[in-house]
């Protein structure tokens, strides 16, 4: 079954739309719901996702990676984030992937993603990658500290339809790497593209601020940070903050 591309003008959240669709019907793998406007776009840790109507890309893609062990689900983050990087590389330079699943231009956030498991439908395990990419928005008003759009970088608009199609082609090609058991290639590319890959920067955990260098990311998705004295700290999602 070929994937569907469902383009709608408005919905609360494309992730929610996808979850509801999965409950109702069989949705071919790779299908994507794309909305011009979300009335209640959802971000990480219960945040809202600000996106002006008709300006950006806000969409959700479903895949069924039932073959992946639970401790390898971070691959879906790598797949989604690295695919956005590959898309944006077509338009500009200085794009990196920021652990666990943002995409940055220099020190500013150009894309966020919310990956949710869905166990409700007729499929054993569906993974919904909800992705918001700032394309043509000229100004940001919400609480996000450091947003940037492609328009702010380039000084001109880009065609959303073209970007959507380009993204899907890239995403499918990268997903095939996983399906073929070549996920190491994807992981290597993700690691090569990391924000703050080299050098010491400031981070903050429950005990306060500290300077560290990125030492690696485990297959489980844990972040390894090396202090100047050589101590290595290991973090789960949300246990550590990057000081910008």
Kindly list the residues in this chain that would bind ligand BTN in the complex (CB under 6 A): 13-15, 38, 41-44, 47, 49, 58-60, 102, 112-114, 130-132
Alpha carbons 10 and 104: distance in angstroms, whole number: 26
**At residue 58, what are phi and psi to the nearest 5 degrees?**
-130, 115
Give the three-class secondary structure for 186. Answer: helix
How far is the CA of 71 from the CAs of 11, 75, 228, in angstroms?
32, 9, 30
For ligand BTN, give the closer residue by CB, 30 or 132: 132
CB of 128 to ligand BTN, least distance (A): 9
CB of 212 to ligand BTN, least distance (A): 23
What is the β-pairing status of strands 102-105 and 223-227? unpaired
For ligand BTN, give the closer residue by CB, 60 or 193: 60
The residue of the chain with the least Cβ separation from ligand BTN equals 112
Q: Which of 192, 200, 241 is nearest to 217 (CA)?
A: 192
CB of 100 to ligand BTN, least distance (A): 10
User: Per residue, what are the HEC states of 12-47?
Assistant: CCHHHHHHHHHHHCCCCCCCEEEEEEECCCECHHHC
For ligand BTN, give the closer residue by CB, 14 or 193: 14
CB of 45 to ligand BTN, least distance (A): 7
For ligand BTN, give the closer residue by CB, 200 or 242: 242
CB of 43 to ligand BTN, least distance (A): 3
For ligand BTN, give the closer residue by CB, 131 or 225: 131
For ligand BTN, give the closer residue by CB, 42 or 160: 42
At a CB cut-off of 8 Å and minimum separation 6, what does 27 contact? 4, 18, 21, 62, 121, 126
For ligand BTN, give the closer residue by CB, 150 or 177: 150
Give the chain's end-to-end CA distance (angstroms, integer): 44
CB of 137 to ligand BTN, least distance (A): 13
DSSP secondary structure string for all residues of 110-178: EEEEEEEEE-SSSSS-EEEEEEEE--S-----SS-SSB--HHHHHSS---HHHHHHHHHHHHHHHHHHH
CB of 110 to ligand BTN, least distance (A): 11
């Amino acid at each position: 079954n070929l994937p569907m591309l469902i383009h709608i003008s408005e919905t609360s959240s494309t992730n929610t739309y996808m979850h509801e669709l999965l409950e109702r019907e069989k949705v071919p793998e790779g299908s994507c719901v794309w909305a011009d406007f979300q009335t209640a776009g959802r971000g990480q840790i219960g945040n809202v996702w600000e996106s002006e109507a008709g300006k950006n890309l806000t969409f959700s893609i479903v895949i069924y990676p039932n073959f992946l062990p639970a401790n390898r689900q971070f691959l879906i983050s790598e797949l989604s984030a690295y695919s956005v990087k590959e898309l944006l590389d077509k338009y500009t330079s200085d794009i990196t992937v920021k652990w666990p699943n943002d995409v940055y231009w220099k020190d500013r956030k150009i894309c966020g993603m919310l990956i949710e498991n869905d166990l409700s439908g007729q499929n054993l395990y569906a993974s919904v990658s909800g992705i918001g990419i700032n394309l043509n928005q000229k100004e940001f008003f919400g609480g996000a500290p450091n947003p940037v759009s492609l328009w702010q970088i380039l000084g001109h608009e880009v065609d959303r339809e073209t970007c959507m199609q380009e993204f899907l082609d890239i995403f499918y090609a990268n997903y095939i790497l996983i399906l073929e058991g070549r996920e190491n290639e994807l992981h290597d590319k993700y690691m090569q593209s990391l924000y703050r890959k080299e050098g010491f920067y400031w981070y903050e955990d429950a005990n306060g601020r500290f300077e560290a260098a990125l030492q690696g990311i485990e297959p489980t998705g844990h972040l390894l940070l090396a202090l100047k004295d050589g101590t290595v700290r290991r973090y789960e999602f949300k246990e550590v903050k990057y000081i910008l």
